Amino acid sequence: MGKPVVHWEVTGKDGKKLQKFYAGVFGWTIHDAPMDYGLVHAEKGGIGGGIGADPEGSGHVTFYVEVDDLAATLKAIESLGGKTLMPPTEVPGQVTFALFADPEGHMVGLVKSEQQ
């Protein structure tokens, strides 16, 4: 079995406005988190995600795949034509993640598995 998609996110210039939009459209309850970010808890049959501001203002929509070894996965990505956008980065007490671009430039996230 392949690696699971475990998180998604939508960011843009106005995180609060985006949160209000998606809550209104889909009926999601959005919980406050640090840095103008809101968490959407998983619903039955779905996965949780986040909506917030992009510090650079460009915004993106992406998904995150859980892997055991971020560095090894990024190395494999680069060997297959992808590019590391953000090396492994820890948000203390929350998550360790990285970002890459696929060969066509689509940004995708990686999340380190909590099981070691």
For 52-98, the pLDDT digits (tens) are 998 887 888 999 999 999 999 999 999 999 999 999 999 888 899 99
116 versus 99: the higher-pLDDT residue is 99
Second-level CATH architecture of 5-112: Roll (3.10)
Q: How far apart are CA 28 and CA 56, in angstroms?
A: 26
Q: Tell me the whole-structure pTM to 2 decimals.
A: 0.81
Find, among 80, 60, 71, the residue nearest to 112 by Cα.
71
Q: Distance between CA 115 and CA 53 in Å, rounded?
A: 30
**Residue scoring higher pLDDT (30 or 58):** 30
User: Which of the 8 DSSP states describes residue 77?
Assistant: H
Nearest Cα to Cα of residue 61 among 52, 74, 73 = 52
